[in-house]
Amino acid sequence: MGGDHGPGVTVPAALNFLREHPEAGVVLVGAAEVIEAELKVGNSDLSSRLRIQPASEVVEMHDPPAAALKNKKDSSMRVAINLVKRGEAQACVSAGNTGALMAISRFVLKMVPGVERPAIITLLPTLKGHTYMLDMGANVDCSAENLLQFAVMGSILVSSVEQIEKPRVGLLNVGEEEIKGNEVVKRAAELLKSSGLNFVGNVEGDDIFKGTAEVVVCDGFVGNVALKTSEGLAHMLATFLREEYGRNLITRIAGLISLPVINAFKHRVDPRRYNGASLLGLKGIVIKSHGSADAYSFQCALERALEEARSGMLNELGMRMQIMNPQPAGEV
């Protein structure tokens, strides 16, 4: 029940989600009385597929992850992840503090054996449809082996969720040629070539939105900068376009006439449709929603969770990691 807007957003999102997915159920975790008040505002004929799990604490956006992990054992975040751990929920969706969500998820759910680092994977629109990119900020320093594992995890997620047998995997670099890049990326390319993945080689920043690959792999520093730079550019362009249409009476009339076009355009690139980044590598499905998500946006994150839960992705990942990192005979 975190995020910037709390149950006022998450409860209506959950109700809409239940309406559109008759096979799904939702557990709302948090302050029971607040949630109940929101449920009364909304339509609660969905009560058979909806239950409230009380939690007395809230992880705040500014809480250091370690403190949230240690001191807030009855936070809505912790209780929700515990539900996943116990198998009472198939996924946890949170709009709260990313660092705390990652720390608590790692502590409670543990990592898939063989995965060294979890990664944050997000969906982005492209000229051809959409692509998945990781890591978006969980790991600011990565080894070539980490990048290889991100590629494997991303590939399994995409093949499971999108039913693409061999998703094209691109390594984000500063040029397409093999000699380009820093040492870590060059070595990662070597590992990827012999990985059995459908590695299409280096891709550049502009390839992300071209849709050159279904999985784009980078370290969390580069991924975070690329994502936030894109958000900043999109915001600037939208502001300029709005300013130009608002300049005078004639431009405002042109804007009115263009409204259907602009709305269709906005829908195609609406970042809310791409909300919901997955914390990959955990023994459970955890989806991070944007903190400022509105109800539509949070519903998209819930839908992402449903897709992943249905896809069997976690089993696939466990099996693949076992093949990549076989245990010594004595330890089996």
Site residues for a copy of itself per CB under 8 A:
125-127, 137, 140-141, 172, 174, 180-183, 185, 204-210, 218, 220-222, 224-237, 239-241, 244-245, 247, 250-251, 253-255, 257-258, 260-262, 264-265, 268-269
Nearest approach in angstroms of CB 20 to a copy of itself is 26
Q: How far is CA 173 from CA 53, 120, 205, 315, in A?
A: 45, 19, 8, 31
Nearest approach in angstroms of CB 189 to a copy of itself is 13
Nearest approach in angstroms of CB 287 to a copy of itself is 20
Measured from the CB atom, the residue of 136 and 313 that comes closer to a copy of itself is: 136
Question: CB–CB of 105/117 below 8 Å?
Answer: no
Measured from the CB atom, the residue of 186 and 310 that comes closer to a copy of itself is: 186
Q: Describe the crossing of helices 144-162 and 313-324 by its angle, rounded to 10 degrees.
A: 140
Nearest approach in angstroms of CB 156 to a copy of itself is 25
Given its phi and psi angles, is residue 28 left (phi above 0), alpha (psi -120 to 50 degrees) or beta? beta
Measured from the CB atom, the residue of 232 and 312 that comes closer to a copy of itself is: 232
Question: CB–CB of 200/170 below 8 Å?
Answer: yes
Measured from the CB atom, the residue of 86 and 268 that comes closer to a copy of itself is: 268
Cβ-based neighbour number of residue 269 at 10 Å: 12
Measured from the CB atom, the residue of 53 and 230 that comes closer to a copy of itself is: 230
- Size of the chain in residues: 332
Residues 6+ apart with CB under 8 A from 274: 122, 123, 124, 125, 130, 300
Question: CB–CB of 28/1 below 8 Å?
Answer: yes
Measured from the CB atom, the residue of 41 and 253 that comes closer to a copy of itself is: 253
Nearest approach in angstroms of CB 225 to a copy of itself is 5
Nearest approach in angstroms of CB 129 to a copy of itself is 12
Alpha-carbon distance 293 to 93, whole Å?
A: 12
